[in-house]
Structure 1
Amino acid sequence: EGTTMITAPEGVDNESYNYKIEKYYDIEKIPEEYKEYVEEVGEIERVSAYEIDNIKVMKSMYNDTVYVYMNNVNDALRFEIRIYPQEIQRVRETYPGYTFEKEFEDGGINFDIFSKEESSGEYTYIMYFYYGKEKYIVIGRSDEDRIQDIVIEYKNVILSHEGKLQ
């Protein structure tokens, strides 16, 4: 009682749910089309004390996502870069279990911040921004200001690669 089983209707095209995940431990083995995304993460000064643990590339028919997992002694960060086929409109997404905290702007780019209190009492933050045909996401369990500084610096790295840093 109280449960619902959801089934796919007959004839649903399973191709739309196909995706492929590749995992890498060496930046040199990442396909060339994704390498710059990982190198940009490595250029963020505020994460220079972190080491890349692994990189995953998920390819689907709607977008490709590059996940960069970074660790240091007491902390971990995850960077996600969603690459869409064309430029997309900025939308506020929802993240189950997370609460929308605020939106802020820096250098003409808008950022959204979400948080979730973990059972340990720590908070996990998701901060993201859109630029071009990509969505750049930083996820970390640290203080909000520190993650915000990282995501702003990340934006500056992206814009400097595009030659559009003010």
Structure 2
Amino acid sequence: MGTFTGPSTQPALHYTDVSTWALGSFAGTAGAVIATAPELGRFLSALLGGGLLPPAQLAAMKTVVSAGAGTGIDYGLGIMRTDTPCGTVWGHTGSTFGHDSYMFGSADGRRTMVIDTTTDTELNAQSPGSNPIKEAMAAAVGTASLTAACTMFGEPIPAA
């Protein structure tokens, strides 16, 4: 385990190398898929573009239910629809120890975005206040996601 220090003498973030951990048993199928960011983008583009499933199956997959009022997220069969200020994107996120992935694209799969981080920013978002540095990193991922979505749709990026 390593320690990164911030401006003070107190440790800012503890680092545990998890690159050799077998995640398949812990994370189930979430840890069983290993892909690069470009591979995730190609997969999502092919899926949303109709290259992997017959139209009826893709339509069934994209039939969604709300994740809850105010979340802006709806879930289908293995895919989520998220409304951004610039347009609606389809995709999924995933987290295991030390890594997060976010892949989203336009409804037709012609535009995609993939964000990978080497920390568990998504898990930290579920327990606010637990680590200010991880919260800042999660906010940066949120900003990057919004910037990518707006760029995909040719829309201006909303002011913070």
TM-score by length of 2: 0.29
Q: Which has the higher strand share?
A: 1
Q: Which has the higher helix share?
A: 2
TM-score by length of 1: 0.28
